[in-house]
A and B are shown apart, each in its own frame.
Chain A
Amino acid sequence: MSAPTIVREPEIDVATERDVPWIVIVWNDPINLMTYVTWVFQKVFGFPRTEAERLMMDVHTKGKAVVANGPKERCEAHVATLHGYGLWATLQQDR
């Protein structure tokens, strides 16, 4: 009689995968106005104006900026809110 094979569930890997935080990225686009994007960042995230402007300039000059991070559900909610304002936002895991 052979001993039953012990199948190890890759619990650690799964946990690690799940723990990789998600990030929300806003991409530069040629239509949304700088003043409008700054306003939306202040409104949605409660950033002070200077912080909102810094992020907006990152989007404008670097092509994109990370505006939020956290659990997937929260990032999805942020992306939906930003789409509601017409910003081009995506989410991904921060690898």
Chain B
Amino acid sequence: MARVRISSSYGGGVDVDLPEDVRDLLASLARQLAELIDDPEAVGEPGLERLFPPASIDDPMESLGFEQLMGDALRAGKREAAAIVRATAHATHLDAEETLAWMRCINDIRLVIGTRLDIQEDTDIEAMFENELMEQAAVTYVALTELVEMLARAADPT
């Protein structure tokens, strides 16, 4: 990616210098994420499942209770973050709340793509660049990884 810079800004926000095509891609991916969250046919799809993991490692009833208690709020939160990313995809400055939405949403998109690519600790992602079926997703995944890394370094967590 050419000209990619995210730097700290006053009040917990960040200044964002990104090429237009990356911004367009982010807006498009955020829209796709929101669609995935509300797609009834995607139930059980591994990428979507990864966004809403079971709350208990070994107690399905506990996990079900948690889903009933928190599921709607979790989906609403992810929907809202995606909407903020779409609305601010071309902004040069993000306030603290918008920065948070970018981090959460871009990381969620990484989780979906990474799960579909079956990324493991020892996965050689660059080898996927040679695979016609995986190339586009792998290139996107690497670009989003760089963005999350930069956001986490630039944004103030306090």
Give me the interface of A with B, judged by CB distance under 8 Å: 25, 30-33, 35-36, 38-40, 42-43, 46, 76, 79-80, 83-86, 88-92
CA distance A83 to B114 in the complex (A): 16
Distance between B6 CB and nearest chain A CB, rounded to angstroms: 13
Contact A80 B70 (CB under 8 A): yes
Contact A76 B115 (CB under 8 A): no
Contact B111 A86 (CB under 8 A): yes
Distance between A20 CB and nearest chain B CB, rounded to angstroms: 14
Distance between A2 CB and nearest chain B CB, rounded to angstroms: 40
**Is B40 positioned at the interface, with any CB of A under 8 Å from its CB?**
no
Give me the interface of B with A, judged by CB distance under 8 Å: 51-59, 62, 66, 69-70, 73-74, 77-78, 100, 103-104, 107-108, 110-111, 114-115, 119-121, 123, 145, 148-149, 152-153, 155, 157-158
CA distance A92 to B119 in the complex (A): 27
| Count of inter-chain pairs, beta carbons less than 8 A | 85
CA distance A3 to B22 in the complex (A): 82
User: Contact check: which of B70, B73, B155 meets A39 at CB < 8 Å?
Assistant: B155
Kindly list the 6 A-B residue pairs having the minimum CB-CB distance in the complex, ordered from nearest: A42-B157, A31-B114, A43-B157, A80-B70, A35-B152, A39-B152
